[in-house]
Chains A and B, each alone.
Chain A
Amino acid sequence: MSTRDRIPRRWFLELGVGAALSFGLGLPFGGQRSAVAAKAKTKTPRARACILLYMEGGPSQLDTFDPKPGRPTGGPFKAIETNVKGIRISEHLPRLAKQMKRMALIRSLTSKEGNHDRARHLMHTGYPPQGGVDHPAFGSVVALTRDSRTLPGYVAIGGPGEDAGFLDASYSPFPVLDPTKPTRNLGYAGGVDPGRFDMRLGLWRTLQGDFATDHPGVLASGQRSVGEQAVALMRSPSVTAFDIAPEPDALKAAYGPSPFGAGCLMARRLVAAGIPFVEVLLKGWDTHDNNFPRVTDLSATLDQGMSALLDDLAKTGLLDTTLVLWMGDFGRTPVINDRGGRDHFPTASNIVLAGGGVKGGQVIGSTNENGDEIVSRPVSVPDLYRSVAWAMQVDADKSRFAPSGRPVKTVDGGTIISELFI
């Protein structure tokens, strides 16, 4: 795969970074020679879990975390002060503004992928889609490298998430479609009690054994093993994490009535139960028309759910070891189109990180006054994932083999954004 040749060259040319940074040298973080890396060497990764808040459709950076009030591209929203002097965000995120000390904003993420499918693949896997290799979601790699016992390693709430690509399907996200209700099919069907289920399971095992004897191959044995894992999950005491009902009403109210809020609450329960990667989807950010009313509504949902999550993680002592990552498909155009919308803009978008050893209260990178160009500290998706991998203690340079025999690293190139971390 010549991506390894291609991406570095591309970033060198287009981001104007270069000589000081090392790309794809195959060295672990501690072994890199650059000054930046040497400084970060003294830092300690501490994230045990990651909660990805994924904004499907591509959230408008100018109307959330990189406001340009008063500029022709700024739109009608005002910017408000946060609890960190000098950092201002959209007026529609008042609760998050009070949590700025916990959050790091990256205002300079840049990519080339302006198509939803391609961008989602990039943002979930760290790789642009390429023929020949079906890259696994980063969450699937986390699931592969962590022992979550009977629980799935990657759960996607509110949507399918991104699959395990060429990794074993058991690392694909476990889907929770509606977090406001108990997760479907995790409990016994009506009229079936554990005793009756055991009867059925006994017969099922007999039939599985017969078929496997007559039909060699991995299909029968794999099916049996997955069936047993499903039963183990159903009967695990931790399975209650998949239902938010036991939470106090006041806490549920704090997260808000939206499925996204409920998803954030379930994410906290899942992380507390030992699941290392949880994705919560908030859909509807593809605001080609009517951007401002739609972003106002979406912001209210986001603001309540995400700020409640950060508070709750802090109160339960999980924030220090849980990396919260907010991002979406791409940014949106500074130019407001004639339908009051904003179109796709991969050139500049925002990332928010909190917890898991992230140094809050800072902004990394910046755009110009109209938001149409990055003027400092451009960050690539591989930079982001190399950083997240470091924080999560996942080996970014580990190669795994795709079916074609091609070795594929966890992260291809990129440099750790060392100032992100404590």
Chain B
Amino acid sequence: MRRAFVAQALGLSLVGCAAPIAQTPAPPPAAPLPLAAPVAAKPVPAPAPAKPPGPVLMTPVDVDKLTADLWQSAGVIPVAVSDDAELLRRVSIDLIGRIPTLEEAEHFLADKSPDKRAHLVDQLLASPEYAEHWADVSLDLFVGHEFRKPGLEKRLDPRAFYLAAFRENRPYDRMAREMLTFSGEIVPSGPGVFVASHVKGGGAETMASTTARLFLGVQIQCAQCHDHPYDDRYKQEDFYGLAAFFARTKTKQEKVAAAPAAAPDAATLTATAAPSMVAASGSGDMAGGDAGGMAAAVDRADNKVYTVFDKPNGQMKFKKNGATSETVVQPRFFGRNIPALAGEGRRDTLARAVVGSDLFGKTFVDRTWAQLFGRGIVEPWDDLGGENDPKHPPLLNRLADDFRASGYDIKHLLRLMVLSRAYELTSRNPPSASANSTGDTPLPAAATASRPPPPDPTLSFARAAVRRLTPEELFRSLIVATGVDRLEQLDADKVRKRIERALKEYSFIFADDEGAEVNTFNGNIPQALLLFNGELTNQGAKQRPGSNLAHILTASNEPATRLRQMFLSTYTRLPTDAEQSRLLPVLGQGPGSRAAYEDLFFALLTSTEMLTNH
């Protein structure tokens, strides 16, 4: 299914986003510990309580031992480690959602310090763009498109919740609880849109399947209509048992008088509503400062209030296949009864069970791994099977245990992954390999005369995968590569509007299937047309005051230097000797050569090496 347009907020936040990391006033090298401490520049409303000396957490070396075991059992030898340029590009896209600027690339390549990769990762994780990027990722993942319509999205700004959470490195279990248990008026930047969008999009059933998939990596929605055909773990009763946790949850939109109403109007809920019901639900675990504090700031220009609330009663009912009457189903968590604690609403109980499940950490770990490596440790990440599945490999189990032990510290997990050996491997075919070889080298023991085709090394993370950029990553990267956000002689407001318009078009045309498999090609003609004939690439390839190409051509008259900088600005690497000898004759030095540089820059911007992370 297509994704909705991306927030206009993204476009706004993009202007000037490309402040080179290397030039920001040297951020304090992020201390490796305490890992849960917020790294955001802004003061954090609710500081994490000081942690007692915690368990010993994993280091990237521990990850390397586990991937080595994986390679051993898959019978592959990993390819070589990426050079600095390749790694810089990959980790920049993965952590801050865009390619490095020319300045960042030159700075990093010139840096001779031995620990520069670790230092780079710290810088990226501390960058404001880190939170921007992961807010984009989370918005697409969690917010259903009922609330991605431009007007509603602008007003309720669901992205801001994720932005704030990633800025302060909020523990993931807390984020999940906030999303699942929210109750009350939806205020901008609050977590309420998650439940509201899915309840509105399809009621308790959709909430159940969305919660199971996104937080627990379980595909239970098939069991909505019938017992699972291939997997006997999930029955229809399990689906409706999970849905029963949301059976009382409703969302509504109503016009109000000027005075804000924080709680829904009880009279509209049901005639027999008990007075005590709504307020209690869910608010106990809320980040009180976030939700309550913002409520006053709501712009109710249209006098509309969106509310998530729970009715005091209401049951989940379903008609089993072949049955003639409906059965009432009590809330059950994969067949288990979870007794409610005092004061808990159904969703509070569910949130406790979700966070308590081993699948909770595993799903986040596997989804994040899939995002960084092109495929999950278990593939796909949203079909992990069941709780404590013995088939889950040690790499997943250990990372999930560590994630939990770290207090669900997302930056700690990301650091483990991107500093691992597997992440550093190149995506290039080894030069010795023949054109259609997959590029692995067989283990000596496996080298027999007639063996099946070698396994694809990207399947066991023995070579980096080539991945399509998301629409947001591609858009941000094109902005950084071209400098169209810094054009001179143009009204800043006009530039901003153009960028917003271009972002809208990129989001629409490049909207893809979430969870599309890596190494499958699913580009299409409208995308190619947008790149070939669209405004962003065509304007961006021009030499005009303020543009990156103008900067490159002014900085040097030497074609080889210019070529080098054009490659660094787009592919984040230097041209090979072969490329130089092929491309330099096309370029020139005279004033008439401007078109040739523009044409080459255009070709760089629209080619696969630019459009992918590799």
Contacts and interface: CB of A to CB of B under 8 A. Distances in A.
Contacts of B608: 208, 211-212, 219-220, 223-224
A131 B231 CA distance: 13
A131 B209 contact: yes
Contact of A220 (B2, B466, B603): B466
A98 interface: no
Main secondary structure of the interface of A (DSSP, over half): helix
Contacts of A1: 229
B538 A213 contact: no
A1 B228 CA distance: 9
> What's the interface size class on B, roughly?
35 or more
Contacts of B614: 215
Contact of A214 (B201, B429, B468, B582): B429
Nearest to B4: A160
A222 interface: yes
Contacts of A207: 603-604, 607, 609
B436 A200 contact: no
A234 B611 CA distance: 21
A224 B527 CA distance: 12
A117 B607 contact: no
Interface residues of A, number: 66
Contact of B524 (A2, A172, A192): A172
A366 B608 CA distance: 55
Interface stretch (B57-65, B174-182, B256-264, B513-521): B513-521
Given A214-B428, A219-B466, A222-B523, A230 B209 contact: no
Interface string A149-187: 000100000001001000011101011010000001111
Nearest to B220: A131
A23 B505 CA distance: 44
A245 interface: no
B533 interface: yes
A219 B609 CA distance: 10
Query: Which of B201, B220, B225, B519 is most buried by chain A, counting CB atoms within 10 A of its CB?
Result: B225
A192 B538 contact: yes
Query: Which of B505, B509, B526, B533 is most buried by chain A, counting CB atoms within 10 A of its CB?
Result: B526
Given A219-B612, A231-B532, A211 B607 contact: yes
A188 B533 contact: yes
B533 A185 contact: yes
A196 B599 contact: yes
Contacts of A168: 522
B191 interface: no
B535 A189 contact: yes
A130 interface: yes
Contacts of A197: 532
A132 B219 contact: yes
A194 interface: no
Contacts of A211: 607-609
B50 interface: no
Interface in A205-264: 206-208, 210-224, 226-227, 229-231, 233-234
B226 interface: yes
B595 interface: yes
B519 A217 contact: yes
A422 interface: no
Interface string B211-242: 00000000111100110010000000000000
Given A118-B202, A204-B603, A226 B525 contact: yes
20 contacts: A172-B524, A175-B526, A185-B530, A185-B532, A189-B535, A190-B538, A200-B602, A208-B608, A211-B607, A211-B608, A213-B429, A214-B429, A215-B428, A219-B466, A219-B608, A219-B612, A220-B608, A223-B607, A223-B611, A229-B528
Given A204-B606, A229-B528, 20 more contacts: A115-B203, A117-B1, A117-B202, A128-B225, A130-B221, A131-B220, A160-B511, A172-B524, A186-B529, A189-B534, A199-B595, A204-B607, A206-B582, A206-B603, A207-B603, A210-B576, A216-B435, A218-B520, A231-B532, A234-B529
